[in-house]
Chain A
Amino acid sequence: MRKTLFFLPIALVALALQNAVVARIPFPFADPSIFLIVILAWAFLEDPEFAALQGFIAGLLLDLNPLSVGLIGHWAFVLAAVCYGTSEMGVQLRSSRRAPLTLTVTVTGALLISLMLFALTSWLISAEQGLSFSRTTPGVLLWSALITPLLSPLIIRMSRFAQGIGARNG
């Protein structure tokens, strides 16, 4: 539980950084999504159960982001599922999951799956969000591949710290 409490401010800071800085800079192709990179990298280093819960919370935060106009619960659904899958993959890889390259490849792959799942579920419930999927996704993935290695040392360090808290306090 304490691990989740530690995760919440990190998600909030990542979202605030996304809203106030990243989304306002006209990046070529599409904006990088610092928020999704942080959430997915965190899930990759986490146990599946916590990853699913944290994905759900992060998704709900993204749904309730004052700047988003989609349905509430949509991102929560997508991120709970993708974070769980990402974490399962991390568990399979065991020790090598802390290598920056593995992290980058997995996060970028997970990001692609999240965006695809979001667009697909949008289409299923005929919500109008996510129609620009094909236009924005390549740019988002490119930026993810470039930014994840830069962020990975910080995320790995914070995740280790959180695991320590989890181990001490359960």
Chain B
Amino acid sequence: MATPDKSRSRFFLIALLVTSLIIVTLDLRGSVPGQTFRGITNTVLAPFQSFFRFFYDPINNFISEASNLGRSADKINELEERNAKLEEELSRFKVATRELEQLKDVLDLAAAGRYKSVPARVIAAGSAAGFSRTIELDVGARDGVATDMTVISGAGLVGRVISASESTSIALLLDDETFKAGIRMEASGILGVISGTGNSQLSLTLFDSSSELNAGDRMVARGSSNSRPFVPGVPVGTITSVDQNSGTLTKTALVKPFVNLNSLEVVAVVTGKVRVNPRDSLLPPAPKPTPTPTVTVYITPTPEPSPTKSKKAN
């Protein structure tokens, strides 16, 4: 039989579980101002996170250096020879160059699409263990960022802003399970919807099952009214495999996004409306098909078979 102390703690547990179920129900009904509460948590967490941010670059560099160590003995020797100061300078330089390259790429894309955008740095990320694929950006309402704005990187679509505070904002990445966006296939202009699967690939659904889809076909964002949440023309990804199941009303395929969502550091938020739809112009140049090598062999027949050889053959 349970002791009074034990039954008290059980009662307490049940009370807590019921409380959380009530909160879930209220949130399901939309009665909880979730974004307000999350904003408060953000304010509380911000000082801790900015403190830890100082450690991110050294730790990240240490891990990337460490993963290279096992690759070759020469590399180890080379690393040992470097002195600490040079190594630190090098890692700083690497971070700066990487960020500069990403910034250049994203600004190039924004300029090509005539998107009015603000560049942003990724300062925190949602965890796979928490089942949310989100990133926190260092731009917020004071930079003109608001909810439902497109987030792009140099390679293409990254996601959309789901909340914005004064100085930071949260963006939902396109591989999150709750993410959905309208797309348009390159050249053919067929419309469809991509949705995140939680995996590295996205799922594409076309509403017209008769339309032709092939691996390697590429797509851009279709764009929403008033350019929110999505501006038109942003490159999204390439089809890797098509579901050949012909009995359904829709046609589905798997899509590999152009953007590597695990190594995002600099992105941009499109803050203005798009006046001219860039259509397919922002897609990278199509990969050229590799030519099939053909080998031509010329054989010159010997003028006369020698009689001795023919005898041997017989």
Contact = CB atoms under 8 A, between A and B. Distances in A.
Interface of A: 12-13, 15-26, 30-33, 35-36, 47-49, 52-53, 55-56, 59-62, 64-77, 80-81, 84, 115, 118, 122, 125, 128-133, 135-136, 139-140
Contact of A24 (B23, B32, B124, B178): B124
B281 to A, nearest CB: 31
Nearest to B53: A20
Given A16-B49, A21-B52, A71 B28 contact: yes
A129 B178 CA distance: 7
B263 A26 contact: yes
A82 to B, nearest CB: 11
B38 A73 contact: no
Given A19-B125, A25-B63, A30-B129, A66 B39 contact: yes
Contacts of A47: 9
B59 A25 contact: yes
Contacts of A118: 131
A129 B127 CA distance: 12
A140 B163 CA distance: 28
Given A73-B20, A77-B24, A135 B199 contact: yes
Contacts, number: 197
Contacts of B135: 67
- 4 closest pairs, A vs B, by CB? A73-B23, A132-B198, A16-B48, A33-B129
B305 to A, nearest CB: 66
B136 interface: yes
Given A66-B170, A73-B20, A81 B132 contact: no
A13 B48 contact: yes
B142 interface: no
A20 B16 contact: no
Interface string B266-281: 0000000000000000
A72 to B, nearest CB: 4
Nearest to B176: A69
Interface residues of B, number: 64
Contacts of B117: none
Interface in B56-98: 56, 59-60, 63
Interface in B170-206: 170, 172, 176-178, 197-199
B41 A61 contact: yes
B134 A68 contact: yes
A24 B263 CA distance: 8
A60 B16 CA distance: 11
B212 interface: no
Interface in B107-146: 122-132, 134-136
Given A25-B63, A71-B24, A31 B136 contact: no
B224 interface: no
B129 A36 contact: yes
A8 to B, nearest CB: 10
A20 B123 contact: yes
Contact of A67 (B13, B23, B125): B125
B246 interface: no
Contact of A23 (B22, B59, B126, B170): B126
B207 interface: no
Given A69-B162, A135-B199, A62 B48 contact: no
Nearest to A64: B41
Contacts of B162: 69
A128 B49 CA distance: 28
A130 B176 CA distance: 10
B42 interface: yes
Given A32-B129, A53-B12, A62-B130, A12 B178 contact: no
A149 B189 CA distance: 55
A84 B13 CA distance: 7
18 contacts: A15-B45, A16-B45, A19-B127, A21-B56, A36-B129, A52-B13, A60-B20, A60-B23, A64-B34, A64-B41, A66-B136, A67-B127, A69-B134, A73-B27, A76-B16, A81-B17, A84-B9, A139-B128
